[in-house]
Amino acid sequence: MMSMTWNRFVQLIRNPDCQLVLVLVVVLFSRVPFLNAGYGVNVDAWRVARVAREIATTGQYSVSRFPGYPIQEIVCSWFWRGGPVALNGLTAFFSLVAVAAFMWISRKLRCRDAWLAGLALAVTPIFFVSSACAKDYIWALAFVLLSVLCALDRRALFAGGLLGLGVGCRITSLAMMLPLALILFGETSGRSRWLSIVTFISVAAATAALVFSPVCLSYGMNFLTFYENHTRPDWVTILKRGTVEIWGAAGLIGLCIAASSLFLRRTSTTSPNKWVAPAFVLAIAIYLGAYLRLPDQAGYLLPIVPFVLILAQQFVARRIFQILCACLFISSFAVVSPNGLSRGPIFADHVERLETMARIRGFLAYSKTLPGRNTFVVGGWEPQIAVMAPEFRTDRSRYVYLLTANELSDAFKNSDHVFYLPLIREFNYRVTGLDLAQHGALDLRAIFDGQQAAREQAR
């Protein structure tokens, strides 16, 4: 009796549909503890939360930042009252969609460890961290992977529509147009080949135009702009963002093992479509090129993660792929260094989110003790203050992102003092060309430290 029960259990576990459900349950519950720590480390996640509230309360569309992310911004406006749990939860939901689509793609390409690959994707550091915040990366990736799945199913119309929705979440999803056309090229033949490609491109373009119509109606063609006001990091930082922050230290070790194995044992792809591998290599190259053009955030490289894992499934030995997955399981939860074992990226991200919110609360409490009418130049804290404490934005206290020369002049007309945070002085100068200190603004940190020193002496 026990033997029969065990055999049935084993058969159930080996069932692909059961594996899919179990993986999604694990992924869902692994995200829950991280959903309530604000909207994310990246300030753009807070901008999404702010604009979601504005759209919901005013009934008018506006962008969280250019060039606009209309699908995410509008959908989030329906749930903004739920706070971080609701908006981060939406991202977690799309992470389930992305993992499910990835597992289906793996099956179609005849991978024997689709469930393992799905878990590996879910725990890759950049994917895990991005799936527990209100940033748009995971939303776009989910639609891109669904589009890939439809292309492998020869459903050109659906592939185009889903890619268009992906563009509505993140415009850089357009980079997948050519790789997906290559997949469709390999899946079809004769006249239907070109018909499917034309259908795919036409539907993708039409859908993208439709979802961006609110942006066009509000801003005209001026929405096609991008922010490049950050200094270009040094090559060490660029390399770290493009490697360790994506895969984690353990994950990089697994990738090196997988890459090295290709020189020892060459295997051929299991995919019946010979254009799949070139399409994924092309996608990786496009996103790498875009990242090197503007290496501001590691999340820009998130789309390459599933394609690297799929290529690994296709070309390395099964045991080596399993080792790679095992390394990725470690990478999000722990970091092994010469100093010992430390918390992994997902825990470090969670702590940083809580600490940042605590610092902002402390800053707000202190700013309210300053007499008179004051303007505070706070940089990236501005969207967070607007979401965390909208009641603090009064006639007596204004919190602004940056100031131009004209805006500073107006600020002095309406305020007794203009204060800036230390790191914002250089940022403000780089973006606007205005040195706040040389035009009468005060260093808030220096004032705070002076008050603390005076209190110590009084004791």
pLDDT digits (tens, 9 = 90+) for 118-171: 999 999 999 999 999 999 999 999 999 999 999 999 999 999 999 999 999 999
Q: What is the C-alpha separation between 378 and 400, in angstroms, rounded?
A: 6
pLDDT over 70 (residue 323): yes
Place of tokens 């820009």: 300
Report the chain's mean pLDDT, rounded to a whole number: 91
Which one has a higher pLDDT value, 239 or 336? 239
Q: Which residue type occupies 112?
A: R
Indicate the domain borders of the chain: 18-225+233-346, 368-458
Which one has a higher pLDDT value, 199 or 394? 199
pLDDT of residue 265: 67
pLDDT of residue 286: 97
pLDDT of residue 6: 52
Lowest-confidence segment of 237-246, 294-303, 384-393 by average pLDDT: 384-393
Q: What is the C-alpha separation between 309 and 306, in angstroms, rounded?
A: 5
How many CB atoms neighbour CB 323 within 10 A?
A: 17
Q: Which residue type occupies 299?
A: G
Confidence of residue 215 (pLDDT cuts 50, 70, 90): very high
pLDDT over 80 (residue 374): yes
Confidence of residue 414 (pLDDT cuts 50, 70, 90): confident
Inter-residue contact 425 to 442 (CB < 8 Å): no
Which one has a higher pLDDT value, 299 or 395? 299
Q: Which residue type occupies 346?
A: I
CA angle centred on 30, ends 350 and 332, rounded to 5°: 60
Angle subtended by helix axes 422-432 and 444-458, to nearest 10: 160
Inter-residue contact 234 to 291 (CB < 8 Å): no
Which one has a higher pLDDT value, 336 or 335? 335
Q: For residue 323, what are the CA distances in angstroms to 111, 251, 255, 330?
A: 15, 10, 9, 11
27 CB-near residues (< 8 Å, 6+ apart): 95, 96, 99, 118, 119, 122
Mean per-residue pLDDT for 314-341?
89
Angle subtended by helix axes 16-31 and 2-14, to nearest 10: 70
pLDDT of residue 12: 59
Lowest-confidence segment of 68-82, 284-298, 380-394 by average pLDDT: 380-394
Place of tokens 């993140």: 170
Confidence of residue 439 (pLDDT cuts 50, 70, 90): very high
pLDDT over 60 (residue 9): no
Burial track 280-301 (b if 16+ CB lie within 10 A, e otherwise) = bebbbebbeeebeeebbbbbbb
Q: What is the C-alpha separation between 153 and 155, in angstroms, rounded?
A: 5
Lowest-confidence segment of 96-110, 261-275, 285-299, 408-422 by average pLDDT: 261-275
Confidence of residue 273 (pLDDT cuts 50, 70, 90): confident
Mean per-residue pLDDT for 345-361?
95
Mean per-residue pLDDT for 232-258?
94
pLDDT of residue 205: 97
pLDDT over 60 (residue 242): yes
Q: What is the C-alpha separation between 163 and 98, in angstroms, rounded?
A: 13
Q: Percent of the chain scored above 90 by pLDDT?
A: 77
Cite the DSSP H helix spans in 170-275.
177-187, 190-211, 213-219, 235-242, 244-264
Q: What is the C-alpha separation between 295 and 303, in angstroms, rounded?
A: 15
Mean per-residue pLDDT for 49-77?
96
Confidence of residue 311 (pLDDT cuts 50, 70, 90): very high
pLDDT of residue 176: 98
Mean per-residue pLDDT for 420-426?
91
